[in-house]
Amino acid sequence: MIETQQHLREEFDAYVAADKKIEPKDWMPDAYRKTLIRQISQHAHSEIVGMLPEGKWITRAPSLQRKAILLAKVQDEAGHGLYLYSAAETLGVDRADLVDDLLSGKAKYSSIFNYPSLTWADIGAIGWLVDGAAIMNQVPLCRCSYGPYARAMTRVCKEESFHQRQGYSIMMQLMKGTDAQKEMAQDALNRWWWPSLMMFGPSDSESMHSSQNMKWNIKRFSNDELRQRMVDMTVPQAECIGLKMPDPDLKWNEEKGGHDFGEIDWTEFYDVIAGNGICNKERLEDRNKAHDDGEWVRDAAVAYSEKRNANT
């Protein structure tokens, strides 16, 4: 028996190393299944919690068109959450259990959503930077070894680029406006820049899950590589519309062909993960309230279906 497991394990490793895809019913090591369930469900939770900071601005959007766009964007996030829960369920877990773990605080979601969205410019910064960082993380996942996750990510990535552009377009518009509007845009960049860089996770030397996930083709690039790309992509975009990057140490390094940038405040990063961010409590309360308030709807739908089935 142990020998068979060993054999299956070797076959699996060779198969994945050859860049082939694993599908739901294929044999896979328990640790691979567990790590995927953890990552995909955290990812799904992030999409769902990510609706909250932006959802707050739907009723306060400055024009009907911006309101319709933001509504569509937030609806996409709900869709992304559902694609991902659907991918997670192919691994033999139940969505209701995953949701319970989110609501009880047992499961994590991306820490970025524990920061508040204070002004309309924050909606610009979130789309531009937070969705921008998310795309940077997600594009390589379209080639991840687990088929259902890769397919879900392909759908998500197609939709995310609208999100990033609508954010940048909000910033662009503000930067063409009054001094107060420009200040508002700059203030949003100042507050969202560092948390956005933290989205790539701890530095490579500190990252817990990296090396095994690289071997399994769940992860393709290291946290620091992706973070570097994010910096190099964003700097000219900010410059183009007259925003100043909030990093005094930022400068072009000809030799490495990229920017050098300042040290990230990792104390803040771990503090927010530990639950001490500005909005951790509020986000969980909001999710729990939405879930509880929706319970009668879920129950009524089941009662209605049962009644109809009984009548036919």
Residues at the contact surface with another protein, assessed by CB under 8 A: 23, 25-27, 72, 75-76, 79, 82-83, 86-87, 89-90, 94-96, 100, 103-104, 148, 151-152, 159, 288, 291-292, 295, 298-299, 301-302, 304-305, 308-309
> Interior CA angle at 237 toward 232 and 243, to 5°?
110
Least Cβ distance, residue 301 to another protein (angstroms): 4
| 2: its two tokens | 């142990």
Least Cβ distance, residue 153 to another protein (angstroms): 12
Handedness of CA 118, 119, 124, 127 (dihedral sign): positive
Contact (Cβ atoms closer than 8 angstroms) between residue 66 and residue 99: no
Strand partners, 143: none
Please tell me the distance from the alpha carbon of residue 98 to that of residue 190, in angstroms, as a whole number: 34
- C-beta closer to another protein: residue 214 or 300: 300
- C-beta closer to another protein: residue 37 or 245: 37
Least Cβ distance, residue 250 to another protein (angstroms): 37
- C-beta closer to another protein: residue 44 or 230: 44
* Run of H or E residues at 112: none
Nearest partner of 9 among 25, 31, 36, judged by Cα: 31
- C-beta closer to another protein: residue 75 or 211: 75
- C-beta closer to another protein: residue 44 or 174: 44
Least Cβ distance, residue 288 to another protein (angstroms): 7
Longest dimension (CA), the chain: 75
Least Cβ distance, residue 258 to another protein (angstroms): 34
- C-beta closer to another protein: residue 6 or 75: 75
Contact (Cβ atoms closer than 8 angstroms) between residue 73 and residue 127: yes
Burial tier of 61 (Cβ tally within 10 Å: 0-12, 13-18, 19+):
middle
Least Cβ distance, residue 198 to another protein (angstroms): 29
- C-beta closer to another protein: residue 86 or 203: 86
Least Cβ distance, residue 299 to another protein (angstroms): 5
Contact (Cβ atoms closer than 8 angstroms) between residue 284 and residue 126: no
CB atoms within 10 A of CB 38: 14
* Run of H or E residues at 202: none
Strand partners, 258: 253
